[in-house]
Structure 1
Amino acid sequence: MATGISLKGLPRVLKWLLAGLMFIIGLAVGALGIKLATVGGTWFFALMGLVMIVASALIARNRRSGIALYALAFIVALIWSVSDAGWDFWPLFSRLFTFGVLAFLCAIIWPFLSVSPHAKKGPAFGLAAVIAVVLLASLGGMFKTHTLVSADEEVPVKPVTAGEQQKNWTHWGNTTHGDRFAALDQINKQNVDKLQVAWVAHTGDIPVSNGSGAEDQNTPLQVGDTLFVCTPYSKVLALDVDSGKEKWRYDSKATAPNWQRCRGLGYYEESQKVTTAENNSAPAACPRRLFLPTTDARLIAINADTGKPCADFGDKGVVDLSVGMGEIKPGYYQQTSTPLVAGNVVVLGGRVADNFSTDEPPGVVRAYDVHTGKLAWAWDPGNPNITGLPPEGQTYTRGTPNVWSAMSYDAKLNLVYLPTGNATPDFWAGERTALDDKYSSSIVAVDATTGKVRWHYQTTHHDLWDFDLPSQPLLTDLPDGKGGTTPVLVQTSKQGMIFMLNRETGEPVAKVEERPVPAGNVKGERYSPTQPYSVGMPMIGNETLKESDMWGATPIDLLLCRIQFKEMRHQGIFTPPGEDRSLQYPGSLGGMNWGSVSVDPNNSLMFVNDMRLGLANYMVPRAKVAKDASGIEMGIVPMEGTPYGAMRERFLSPLGIPCQKPPFGTMSAVDLKSGKIVWQVPVGTVEDTGPLGIRMHMPIPIGMPTLGASMTTQSGLLFFAGTQDFYLRAFDTATGKEVWKDRLPVGSQSGPMTYVSPKTGKQYIIINAGGARQSPDRGDYIIAYALPDAQK
């Protein structure tokens, strides 16, 4: 029965707006809440939706009791949200903001529903003002960086002395140790805000964003007055370090149907000391040579001074990497990561097109003489007896674990460190051999002279998750507390773990535990009863998810993510694949990926960027796998030669947002001495992306998935561009505070590098900008930053 109150004008409009919104939202929340409850989730949303529907009906009939009922429900929602999500900003925002807007409207309408014409409006409007302030503060909080771990100690900055100043950047990771650390301090915390673009060059090689996987992920090299750059389509440019002016260009004429990229070049010069073998070669025609790995499986030696192929290397400068490999279908085997120059050999692995069949190209790692291109040694994970070319009529073992990421080299120990993948395919391993299981997802240390295995350490047993090791091992010397140091290798992994080993022996330096993990029930598969957990180092972004960890921009997509989560099986990091839909978190992209880490060796601080993306998957019986199944990253992969295909889907809301709570990507500083996180901050905003792929054009620092390398300088600065927004950023290595950023024309997946010009004495920061992973915007930019002359 109506009250007889007759609202007019704005109060009438606001009343119907409130009643309508509350009914629509309540209906959606209630219906989805009932669905959630039926799959084992919380009953809160079902009850909240029911209360909102009743309250909206009362409000529509001008009943104050409807507002009172909603007020009570809102108080319950506050209490429930804190108990469900804690005090984290983003989870609370998604649970309460929409309900808070309705509470604001309720406070505004309250006095107009009084039967008394003299009802006081002040208290209700005062409450509405308080709610409005809280809502505005919440909106403001969206633009604030919510640090996950704050630094509590100062980190000293050691000045660079003239004798230790870096002269050249000659390897992908600056050195063969993969440290990405530059002993330079002309650009420092005090003047980094003065950085400006010094010059811009163009490669003329734009990676086309058409689903083929073409991406610019290059970190240039610098030697003397020349910068060397490779492009996604296997071209090389030499540029003047002070102007960006092109000196020469080489086009390998490489062709490939997919995965076109070049992360880096190898470099060798005759003045380098050779510690691995006696050099009996004649004087080289190319005293300084670059090694270009192509997308169509060639290794090309190029004269660094002229841009011409080195005639004394291989066949007129070219080594055919398909020799001994057997059948290679187009796009099934190619080079994507940098070749490793280790003494007088250049070492290469190769990317294999996982998940198409068990009969994939071999995962062999090979070393070639830097002068002649002659095969020096081969490591075949499936046949240790093959150490050179396979016998006549044979090939290297097909389908074996490969090394697609970058390798590291310790000249003193004469060891090359190989981060291996797993034998193909990724999600079915019932037919893998004992040697496949022995060397997959492992760090393998081989003698740089012979290729013989000295030691190996496995980070995932019988890998069913595509947890191959994606990053270059970091080699650093860790203070032992007794005045000496321990030579350690630090390996990041897709499963969000960090392993620290003695790089001489392979024994863990940071504690690793073998823990029981769940077994699956796929017929014909076998399962490792335990997996290694690196508990002596921090785990990043790999917690076992709960329903309360689900997130959404609104209560609706929050509910849809909760329902999706409850309908899947999730048993932690090593949730085994099955014929039912299961959640793998982290997913196959990581955790940590190929960008690797950078380090401040003076303070034993390591910097790790990550991505937090879950993977929903299930096994598809062979009879149900479509003949054209070919999901390179997502979709159904065929896995021919096994009883199953495999479906892979990103764990996203209908809006295309990751379903678990933010951040979705962070930068962390790890103290290698204590094994603790010093600071951790979200990295990247939604400025150039957003729900349904629509750009939000707002710098909301929610923390987005990262892909690319970072770079650290001795001045206490950390540079990084591998975000989904279009920026190069500098962070204070002591605190993680962003101290500078500059807008790029397109996104970047490349690693920053730096050098001081031998001609002008000016320090430059270089970044390639070819396009972020999820963005259609592509370019061919090489951008140099420097201080104005008066600021040097």
Structure 2
Amino acid sequence: MTNDKCGGSFGPSLWLTLALGVLVTAPMAAGAQMPGVENGQWTFLGGDEGHTRYTPATEIDASNFNSLEVAWQFQSSSFTPSTTKATGTYVDGKFITVTGERRHVIALDPATGELLWSFTEADTERYQYSMRKGYGKGIAYGEIDGRGVVYITTPGFFLHALDAETGHPIEGWGEGVSIPGFPKTGTVDLVTDLIRDWGPWENLNQEYDPYQGIPLEIGYITASSPPIVANGVVIVGNSAEQGYNQTRKEMVPGDILAYDAATGDFKWKFHVIPRPGEFGHDTWENDAWEWTGDVSSWAPMSVDSELGLVYIPTNGATIDYYGGFHPGDNLFSTTLIALDIETGERAWHYQMVHHDIWNYDTPTAPILMDVTVDGETIPGVFQVTKQAFVYALNRETGEPIWPIEERAVPQSKVPGETLSPTQPFPTKPAPFDLQGRTEDHLIDYTPEIRRRAMEVAQNNNLFAPLFNPPTHVGDPAGPANICPGGGGGANITGPPVADPVEGVIYITSTSGCSPAYLAPGVESPLDSDRQTGVRHSEFSRAAGPGGRGGGGGAASIDGLSIWKGPIGRIVAIDMNTGEHTWTIPHGDAPEDEQAMIRNHPLLQGVEGVPTNPGRRGHATLTVSPTLLFATGQTSDGTPHLFAIDKQTGERVGQVEIPGGARYGMASWVHNGHQYIIIQLNDGLAAMALPGARVTGDAHD
């Protein structure tokens, strides 16, 4: 099935009252968790196949949460400077993850954090050029004849299969790679399969250099998420150079690759930019499909092994903010694709943005869980987006669970750009954050405050619709205000989580806008000799003012944001009904900001004003049968782990943690103790109740 077009002083309860009026308790749905967390394990990046990040473990609850302590800490600085965004896997008594820009694979003792083994890929030029070194996110796990195997994709775009017990490459798996320092077995050079039937590579008529990979004049490919393993197949996504940094037209398509998990043999490839005769080819209205690309699957994937389907969210086409050189809706860009795991055949797809020029690529894995809607059990897939929509679909058929309407959107004034006249708007659930900037979004605590807020918005040209198109240098309107901006809404570092038993999704979001101003590609300050591609785009992103409409600076009344908050939030949505149940701030705003609100002259004597708008950015989350766990900062800036009552959104506990969190959390059970694992800037912290701690800090 396709869419018709293409195929502080006031706590969370005040925000709940202001936003909703009532609290709604989620009814029990006929849901059951998908495989991956049996016996306290955490087998997939998102815990289970459906990427819910839900643990059935119940040792940690509201009665003992404040007794949590650091059971162990792993410092990764001895590997490489760490900007890691990763969630590790716990299976068969080992905790395995990636760390550092080299994307070292490490296995740790779950009770102590001590290093058991590590694996590092040898250096290559294609690794050095990778833009996503710190974004490995984790590993994939499978078995070959009962033997645990770790699968890892690297910044250089190689696939390795390692013995989970030793970290050694699997003998007889894959192929040899003729690069010094590479193992003689256990590796696949993914680039060779990616470009084998691709015209721009064939037209170069040159010998392939595995050290370099793809010549930059035709594109670049890397990986920013692990593969996923199901039904004996390893499915591999990829990431192109970030579209917001590109100025040129050429780029390799991010085709999906699959391999036999037991042998490393190539199985299939899915063309994300359809070739002649393939479904969707007619959504490319000129020959751009021959030489442009991206549409990469850089976000993690989810699988339903019983249905035999893998669910793949994609990026937009080259480049962000301008697509005049590839007119059409451009399937399968910014699309959720369901493919047959065994054959790679398309089961269904749903394009969430037609001809995406807003950097609205899909940033997180789709969530799979069953829900009960009007008495009917539906196998659901739920895709959370930067533009603050949740697309709710039947994961077997691709049919929307609730209607999704094609609505008219603004059109571009940039020469050469032709946008889709409509975009798909879900009717349920309601957006989880502000979309565009309208009068309804202005604060209105008093008539005077409302008047002042309106004046600020009008004088600074801040009002904008969703899907506001970019403008170009010379447009008297100035930069377009795109809200949400490319940072979301939802985004990479704060994956949503879900309770698959109750059918509730919890989303962390940040409210803000991004200016979009275009200049001729040849004049762009982003252009450099290291750019991929040769021919300049007619337009690409230009330097311009930042933070427009995001809540500070021009968008304030003497420091008071003119926009309704929270500016950073966590939202609970019951996917059985499509209704929001509560909204709370993400952490606590700095004390000086809260004091400013309390003491603001325009607010003196005004009742019911929330003084905690939360923090910008995204919380990291995981969820148990009774609690939502969320990271954030208290008003003094100290990093904390919070316990939130899932039914009410009330904060019921908080403990200090050793540093700021970087990516989604995990929770699993080892030797009878439940652990919560937090990815820090410089390593890992394992939180547990007293009695679990065996030793102190660990490192290599």
Instruction: Give the 3 Å change call, closer, same or farther, for CA 470–561 of structure 1 in structure 2.
Output: farther
Distance of 2:149 and 2:562 partners within structure 1: 48
C-alpha deviations, 1:180-214, integer Å up to 9, x for none?
11111111122222222222222235774xxxxx6
Distance of 1:507 and 1:786 partners within structure 2: 42
Whether 1:601 and 2:500 are equivalent positions in the alignment is: yes
C-alpha deviations, 1:734-786, integer Å up to 9, x for none?
111122222233211222211111xx31111111211xxxxxxxx22x21122
Given candidates 465, 476, 484, the residue that maps to 1:586 is 484
Instruction: Give the 3 Å change call, closer, same or farther, for CA 401–197 of structure 1 in structure 2.
Output: same
Whether 1:313 and 2:173 are equivalent positions in the alignment is: yes
Given candidates 563, 567, 571, the residue that maps to 1:668 is 571
C-alpha deviations, 1:323-366, integer Å up to 9, x for none?
24443549942111121112211111111112412212321111
* Bigger helix share: 1
Whether 1:522 and 2:414 are equivalent positions in the alignment is: yes
Query: Is the contact made by 1:369 and 1:375 (CA closer than 8 Å) also made in structure 2?
Result: yes
Deviation at 1:151, TM superposition (A): 5.8
Given candidates 40, 51, 55, the residue that maps to 1:167 is 40
Distance of 2:687 and 2:117 partners within structure 1: 22
1:250 alignment partner AA: F
Distance of 1:322 and 1:690 partners within structure 2: 50
TM-score, normalised on structure 2? 0.77
Instruction: Give the 3 Å change call, closer, same or farther, for CA 240–140 of structure 1 in structure 2.
Output: closer
Whether 1:374 and 2:265 are equivalent positions in the alignment is: yes
Given candidates 144, 147, 158, the residue that maps to 1:270 is 144
Whether 1:732 and 2:630 are equivalent positions in the alignment is: no
Query: Is the contact made by 2:62 and 2:643 (CA closer than 8 Å) also made in structure 1?
Result: no
Distance of 1:574 and 1:726 partners within structure 2: 35
1:190 alignment partner AA: S
TM-score, normalised on structure 1? 0.69
Whether 1:223 and 2:83 are equivalent positions in the alignment is: no
Distance of 2:258 and 2:371 partners within structure 1: 29
Distance of 1:559 and 1:328 partners within structure 2: 55
Query: Is the contact made by 1:344 and 1:370 (CA closer than 8 Å) also made in structure 2?
Result: yes
Query: Is the contact made by 2:15 and 2:583 (CA closer than 8 Å) also made in structure 1?
Result: no
Match of 1:292 in 2: 152
Given candidates 514, 517, 523, the residue that maps to 1:615 is 514
Instruction: Give the 3 Å change call, closer, same or farther, for CA 502–630 of structure 1 in structure 2.
Output: farther
What SS does the corresponding residue of 2:420 show, helix, strand or coil? coil
Q: Name stretches of at least 5 consecutive residues in structure 2 with no aligned partner.
A: 1-7, 177-184, 196-200, 202-213, 279-288, 595-609, 694-700
C-alpha deviations, 1:700-756, integer Å up to 9, x for none?
842223336421112x11112267862222211111112222223321122221111
2:295 alignment partner AA: P
2:656 alignment partner AA: R
Whether 1:533 and 2:443 are equivalent positions in the alignment is: no
C-alpha deviations, 1:428-479, integer Å up to 9, x for none?
1122265x61211111111111111111111111212111111111111112
Instruction: Give the 3 Å change call, closer, same or farther, for CA 753–619 of structure 1 in structure 2.
Output: same
What SS does the corresponding residue of 1:668 show, helix, strand or coil? strand
Distance of 1:603 and 1:703 partners within structure 2: 27
The alignment yields a C-alpha RMSD, in angstroms, of 3.7
Deviation at 1:423, TM superposition (A): 0.6
Deviation at 1:565, TM superposition (A): 6.0
Given candidates 378, 396, 419, the residue that maps to 1:504 is 396
C-alpha deviations, 1:633-679, integer Å up to 9, x for none?
xxxx9995321122363325449998744322111110111111101
Bigger Cα displacement from structure 2, 176-185 vs 540-549: 540-549
Distance of 2:662 and 2:223 partners within structure 1: 17
Distance of 1:750 and 1:416 partners within structure 2: 23
Instruction: Give the 3 Å change call, closer, same or farther, for CA 378–397 of structure 1 in structure 2.
Output: farther
1:183 alignment partner AA: P
Match of 2:346 in 1: 453
Instruction: Give the 3 Å change call, closer, same or farther, for CA 486–626 of structure 1 in structure 2.
Output: closer
2:132 alignment partner AA: W
Query: Is the contact made by 1:687 and 1:700 (CA closer than 8 Å) also made in structure 2?
Result: no
Whether 1:340 and 2:228 are equivalent positions in the alignment is: yes
Bigger Cα displacement from structure 2, 730-739 vs 317-326: 317-326
Distance of 2:168 and 2:92 partners within structure 1: 19
Q: Which has the higher contact order (CA 8 A, sep 6+)?
A: 2
Instruction: State the structure with more CA Rg.
Output: 1
Match of 2:74 in 1: 201
Distance of 1:428 and 1:379 partners within structure 2: 25
Match of 1:468 in 2: 361
Given candidates 296, 305, 308, the residue that maps to 1:414 is 308
1:786 alignment partner AA: A
Match of 1:776 in 2: none
Given candidates 747, 755, 760, the residue that maps to 2:660 is 747
Match of 1:240 in 2: 109
**Aligned pairs, number:** 597
Query: Is the contact made by 1:144 and 1:700 (CA closer than 8 Å) also made in structure 2?
Result: no
Query: Is the contact made by 1:328 and 1:361 (CA closer than 8 Å) also made in structure 2?
Result: no
Instruction: Give the 3 Å change call, closer, same or farther, for CA 638–447 of structure 1 in structure 2.
Output: closer
Distance of 1:563 and 1:497 partners within structure 2: 28
Distance of 2:269 and 2:215 partners within structure 1: 18
Given candidates 533, 536, 550, the residue that maps to 1:641 is 536
Match of 1:788 in 2: 690
Q: Name stretches of at least 5 consecutive residues in structure 1 with no aligned partner.
A: 1-138, 209-213, 273-286, 388-394, 692-698, 771-778
Bigger Cα displacement from structure 2, 614-623 vs 578-587: 614-623
Instruction: Give the 3 Å change call, closer, same or farther, for CA 166–655 of structure 1 in structure 2.
Output: farther
Distance of 1:626 and 1:350 partners within structure 2: 27
Match of 1:122 in 2: none
